[in-house]
Amino acid sequence: MTSADFYYLMPLIILAGASIIMLLVIGFYRDHKVTFVLSLLGLAGSFISLMFIQGLPGQIGALLIVDSYALFYWGLITLASLAVAILSYSYFSKMDEEKEEYYVLLLTATLGSMVLVVSRHFISFFMGLEILSVSLYALIAYLPERKRSVEAGIKYLVLAAASSAFLLFGMALVYAESGTMDFTKLGAHINSGAVNAPLLLTGFALMVIAVGFKLALAPFHMWTPDVYEGAPAPVTAFVATVSKGGMFALWFRFFVEVNGYRFHSLVILFTVIAIASMFIGNFLALLQNNIKRILAYSSIAHLGYLLISFLAGGRMGLEAGTFYLVAYFITILGSFGIVAVLSFTERDADNMDDYRALYWRRPFLATIFTAMLMSLAGIPLTAGFLGKFYLAAAGINTALWLPVIILVINSAISVYYYLKIVVVMYRAPDEEVVAGMPVVTVSPALSVGGGIVLSVLTIMLIWFGTFPGGIIDFIKTMISGLSSVAITMVP
Amino acid sequence: MILLWLVIILMLGGIAAWIAAKWNVMLARWISLIATLVDFALVIMIWAENSSGVKLGANAPWLIDFRWNWIPAFGITFHMALDGMSLLLILLTAFIGVLSVLTSWTEIEYRAGFFHFNLLWILAGITGVFLSLDLFMFYFFWEVMLIPMYFLIGIWGHENRIYASFKFFIFTQASSLFMFVAIVALYFIHGKNTGVYTFDYMQLLGTVLSPTAEMWLMLGFLIAFVVKLPIVPLHNWLPDAHTEAPTAGSVVLAALLLKTGAYGILRFVIPLFPHAARDFQIPGMILGAIGIIYGAILAFAQTDFKRLVAYTSVNHMGFVMLGAFALNELALQGVVMQMLCHGISTGALFILVGALYERIHTRDLNKMGGFWDEIPRMGAVGLVFALASLGLPGLGNFIAEFLTLTGSFMANNWITAVATVGLVVSTIYSLRIMARVFYGRKPKAEKHIPDFNVREMVIMSALILAILWLGIFPHPVLDTSRPAINNIVKEASRGSMSEMKKEVQPFKEKSPELAGKSEKGGAR
């Protein structure tokens, strides 16, 4: 390891260092605000250090590679964690629990996700995944006084451990067949043609289980609604964005490097998973009455949409997927941010009734939530619309007619449950008086930090939806760092 | 640039009205009224500048053309342009916009600021749709008008508004997504053929497509337009949405929103996919004829006044479909006239129903009758527009239907003959309105009903003058739209030129046979 490697890994080192410092500080002086500020400094420092990384791509041993593709995802992940941390502050100020360790866990989870982004080897892949998962177990069950919190944590623990086992077994099979755990060498081995395909494919398929679990794709989605519902709202936002984003970045890199597109059965497998995720996510979302569960199922569907970019492959697919993920990050952070901001001390604001006539009580929050929901539904003027457009474009460009048509049908279905929330928010308050329902008037005040984060997210949502030129160009230059050899080989 | 202002004024006016309503509701109303009036004045100005025949013809195809790079990465431009047809339609939009603000002057008391915001944004979206010449931007505006309309129905509507607003949204959204896929597919096909990836209408016009692809893409566009229009199997959302919407919402829906569907067929379906449009001529005309008859019969069967008027839209829009697929100048001129006249006459009927509802709080025809003695002004206005909607000579609708039927008779006489039956039924339902509401005996224990006041008479006089003018002196309108219509006909006629097609696409074996078929179905 040379000193140059330290430059490349500076964002990771800052995060790791920050979490250790925080632990030490907590040991001596336990204070919510201090820990919070330290975590912000860590995340912001990590983000700022991204700008100083030069001489890409930088390879660190056999395990990690820092290219501009990774830098983009690192930036996305740190910013998302920053937003989650700020939202968490006002959320946890209301709680009685010890809340300092929460930020440490948040930082380590972010670290795990960032390791995933830069891994190019099974070892670092697994390491990153475990750093992420172990932190998440604790984060999800962070408020044990609540009814579903521990249930959600245990559920995630058991299922994540099982999926890790599948992952390990899959990796072992791939290793047994190819004799390497390095993505690039694996790709070279596959391209050489002398492959025992059944063994290799079994290995890949087992790995897909773990990936599908992390991305909450059907049929590995069972944990999603319960965990989303049971976890504290900021953690839910984190699970839905940062953990999925890191995994998606890794899997795209892996698939491109090993050129998985040459295996027709894998492509079919992913097509099936994509279609199943879209339908299952949307249909089950129709049946829900709990906001967090609706968003959980809708995120399953959205990851299904996202898979279209993956199936399309190539430069355009990667661009579309990245753009979609950016839009998805913004909307999901915004939506769960609203839930977090509105939450009470004893429970999260996930009941439909909490949103009744929200527009007439809290017009600012209701307008933002409407914008977020419209983006999820893919209505113009929002980033979600352009994301869907990009996906459809990538899909049509590679003649993926079936997934694109199913995307269209599902977008239409999904409109129903997003509108259901919107309708509740705009329902006139006087109707409730007539109906004898209690009018919810007490809801927590909006903190400055929460307000800023939500406003910034909304501005980005509209900005990327109306003038996406800048961000698209940026994505284009950043992702071009990803192994150009393999990208051009894809259809 | 002036075209952009048309949209921006409405959008800014909407935001200003929303904010102003926090202090003063009247201020919000005045702001929206002024914004719409300014828009109307601008459109009149544009028309006055370009009204002479020389200019209309010379500047063809576009009178004003505005272009700005929007998302260069995808070849998306902010391209707005105006020809005679879109000029007339934005004129209608601005006109109806002013009236719809006036109509809701007293009707909307609840959250008036947000109401006016939505109203003005719908108008902005519709104006954008009529002016966009970039397919991406067209889709963008197509969707922009959807959300505020949804709110308008969902918040200020009548009893069953939630159901109606959901239905409206899902029908239109689902159908427009198919158009979206077709747009993107067209973009890629054009890009792969020529290497130029663009959404620009003018460049996509000449895209070479295989017959199958052309048919599928055309159907993708058509389904979005046909749902908006609406045409019979897909008209289901309309009666609910129209009935449940507040008066201004119904007026905008009937007078303007439906026209975006018609406009889409004329502007996009026919010129972009001339061969497929020709192949679809017979089914298209049949669908139009079904709409005419079915709409008329159902209108006759309603007991809810507003629902009745809603079904007359199905009936009238059938003529648009019939005329559009006749694919000749006469019929297309009729279609443009029909769009304008239907906008005015149905808008007026909805305002009448709304005014009546404000007074007697029912829309049930069985609870009405004998109102003429008490409210003669309303009766007289009602009579004018009932006669307009049955197509009495001297009023605009007659010209429109006459032109449409003459044109489509040239294209296919049998279907047209059948469609004409719809005229008889529409006479019956129109007269039934008069008989049920204004004649006969008044139901007992009805308290005194006030007649139209000055504001309402101003609205109605404007509408009556407009419909009379269109009926007696339609020439300025026909002259304005003629060059645009000629362009469309020219594009459509590409569909019957088999020789040219064979040259361009040597790889298609079936092409001569197909083209021969379409020639047989064609007009001449």
Contacts of B188 in chain A (CB under 8 A): 393, 396-397
B144 touches chain A (CB under 8 A): yes
pLDDT tens column, B173-219: 888 888 988 998 899 889 888 888 889 888 888 888 888 889 999 99
> What is the β-pairing status of strands A58-60 and A64-66?
antiparallel
What is residue B104's predicted lDDT score, i.e. its pLDDT?
A: 84
Comparing C-alpha atoms, which of B274, B263, B273 is closest to residue B321? Answer: B263
pLDDT tens column, A61-111: 888 888 889 999 999 999 999 999 999 998 888 787 788 889 999 999 999
Per the structure block, which two tokens stand in for B22? 């926090």
Closest-CA distance of chain B to residue A408, Å: 6
A412 touches chain B (CB under 8 A): yes
What is residue A115's predicted lDDT score, i.e. its pLDDT?
A: 94
Instruction: Give the three-class secondary structure for A147.
Output: coil
What is the DSSP code string of A261-323?
A: GG-HHHHHHHHHHHHHHHHHHHHHHHT--BHHHHHHHHHHHHHHHHHHHHHH-HHHHHHHHHH
Per the structure block, which two tokens stand in for A239? 């699970």
Closest-CA distance of chain B to residue A188, Å: 32
Distances in whole angstroms, Cα of residue B80 to Cα of each of B35, B65, B199: 20, 6, 13
What is residue B501's predicted lDDT score, i.e. its pLDDT?
A: 44
Residue B446 predicted with pLDDT over 60: yes
Task: Give B4 or A484, the one with higher predicted confidence.
Answer: B4
Closest-CA distance of chain B to residue A314, Å: 16
A219 touches chain B (CB under 8 A): no
What is the DSSP code string of B66-81?
A: EEEEEEGGGTEEEEEE
A379 contacts B177? CB cut-off 8 A: no
CA dihedral (B272, B276, B278, B282) positive or negative: negative
Per the structure block, which two tokens stand in for A439? 């009018």
B147 touches chain A (CB under 8 A): yes
Closest-CA distance of chain B to residue A89, Å: 32
B159 touches chain A (CB under 8 A): no
Task: Kindly indicate the confidence band of residue B54, based on its pLDDT and cuts at 50, 70 and 90.
Answer: low
Number of helices (H) and strands (E), helices first, in chain B?
Answer: 25, 2
Q: Which amino acid does the sequence have at B370?
A: G
What is residue B109's predicted lDDT score, i.e. its pLDDT?
A: 75
Task: Kindly indicate the confidence band of residue A435, based on its pLDDT and cuts at 50, 70 and 90.
Answer: low
CA dist A397 and A389 (Å) reads: 12
Q: Are A45 and A99 in contact (CB under 8 A)?
A: no
| H/E element, B65 | strand B64-71
Task: Kindly indicate the confidence band of residue A489, based on its pLDDT and cuts at 50, 70 and 90.
Answer: very low
Instruction: Give B514's contacts (C-beta < 8 A, 6+ positions apart).
Output: B211, B275, B279
Residue A455 predicted with pLDDT over 90: yes
Task: Give A356 or A453, the one with higher predicted confidence.
Answer: A453
Distances in whole angstroms, Cα of residue B138 to Cα of each of A35, A163, A395, B201: 50, 46, 21, 10
Its pTM stands at 0.86
Contacts of B155 in chain A (CB under 8 A): 426, 428
Contacts of B186 in chain A (CB under 8 A): none
Mean pLDDT over the full length of chain A: 88
Comparing C-alpha atoms, which of B409, B228, B437, B403 is closest to residue B314? Answer: B228
Residue in chain B lying closest to A404 (CA)? B181
Backbone angles phi, psi at A29, to 5 degrees: -140, 105
Mean pLDDT over the full length of chain B: 85
Residue A373 predicted with pLDDT over 90: yes
Q: Compute chain B's Rg from CA coordinates.
A: 22
Task: Kindly indicate the confidence band of residue A351, based on its pLDDT and cuts at 50, 70 and 90.
Answer: confident
A468 contacts B143? CB cut-off 8 A: no
A439 touches chain B (CB under 8 A): no
pLDDT tens column, A288-307: 889 999 999 999 999 999 99
CA dist B229 and A425 (Å) reads: 30
Residue in chain B lying closest to A379 (CA)? B143
pLDDT tens column, B279-327: 899 999 999 999 999 999 998 888 888 899 999 989 999 999 999 998 8
What is residue A213's predicted lDDT score, i.e. its pLDDT?
A: 93
Comparing C-alpha atoms, which of B446, B309, B429, B303 is closest to residue B373? Answer: B446
Comparing C-alpha atoms, which of B229, B287, B232, B278 is closest to residue B256? Answer: B229
Could you give the angle at the alpha carbon of A454 between the alpha carbons of A449 and A457, nearest 5°? 125
CA dist B346 and B348 (Å) reads: 5
Instruction: Give A397's contacts (C-beta < 8 A, 6+ positions apart).
Output: A312, A316, B188
- Cβ burial of A205 (10 Å; 0-12, 13-18, 19+) is middle
CA dist A41 and B284 (Å) reads: 65
Task: Kindly indicate the confidence band of residue B333, based on its pLDDT and cuts at 50, 70 and 90.
Answer: very high
Per the structure block, which two tokens stand in for B324? 């559009």
What is residue B445's predicted lDDT score, i.e. its pLDDT?
A: 58
B151 touches chain A (CB under 8 A): yes
CA dist B79 and B138 (Å) reads: 9
Per the structure block, which two tokens stand in for A197? 């395909």
Task: Tell me the residues of chain A between 236 and 255 that have a Cβ less than 8 Å away from chain B.
Answer: none
- Cβ burial of B77 (10 Å; 0-12, 13-18, 19+) is buried
Instruction: Give A206's contacts (C-beta < 8 A, 6+ positions apart).
Output: A166, A167, A169, A170, A173
Q: Are B398 and B387 in contact (CB under 8 A)?
A: no
pLDDT tens column, B13-31: 999 998 888 888 888 889 9
Instruction: Give A398's contacts (C-beta < 8 A, 6+ positions apart).
Output: A311, A312, A313, A314, A316, A317, A491
Comparing C-alpha atoms, which of A397, A382, A125, A383 is closest to residue A249? Answer: A125
- Interface mutation vs chain A, best among B11, B138, B147, B172, most A CBs within 10 Å: B147
Residue A129 predicted with pLDDT over 80: yes
B70 touches chain A (CB under 8 A): yes
What is residue A427's predicted lDDT score, i.e. its pLDDT?
A: 79
A389 contacts B155? CB cut-off 8 A: no
- Cβ burial of A130 (10 Å; 0-12, 13-18, 19+) is middle
Strand pairing partners for B68? B78
Per the structure block, which two tokens stand in for A184? 């690039």
Which residues of B288-430 form beta strands (DSSP E)?
none
What is residue B106's predicted lDDT score, i.e. its pLDDT?
A: 79
B71 contacts A468? CB cut-off 8 A: yes
Q: Are B521 and B279 in contact (CB under 8 A)?
A: yes
pLDDT tens column, B368-408: 888 888 888 888 999 999 999 888 888 888 999 999 999 99
Q: Are A91 and A31 in contact (CB under 8 A)?
A: no
What is residue B217's predicted lDDT score, i.e. its pLDDT?
A: 92
Task: Kindly indicate the confidence band of residue B524, based on its pLDDT and cuts at 50, 70 and 90.
Answer: very low
- For B414-475, the three-class secondary structure string (H helix, E strand, C coil) is HHHHHHHHHHHHHHHHHHHHHHHHCCCCCCCCCCCCCCCCHHHHHHHHHHHHHHHHHHHCCH
Residue B357 predicted with pLDDT over 70: yes
Could you give the angle at the alpha carbon of A409 between the alpha carbons of A404 and A410, nearest 5°? 95
pLDDT tens column, B450-506: 888 888 899 999 999 999 999 998 888 888 888 888 888 888 887 765 444 444 444
Contacts of B154 in chain A (CB under 8 A): 423, 426
Q: How many CB atoms lie within 10 A of CB B296?
A: 27
Task: Kindly indicate the confidence band of residue A158, based on its pLDDT and cuts at 50, 70 and 90.
Answer: very high
What is residue B505's predicted lDDT score, i.e. its pLDDT?
A: 45
Task: Give B373 or A21, the one with higher predicted confidence.
Answer: A21
Residue in chain A lying closest to B146 (CA)? A379
Partner residue facing A469 (CB), from B72, B147, B188: B72
Share of chain B above pLDDT 90, in %: 31
> What is the β-pairing status of strands B76-82 and A64-66?
unpaired
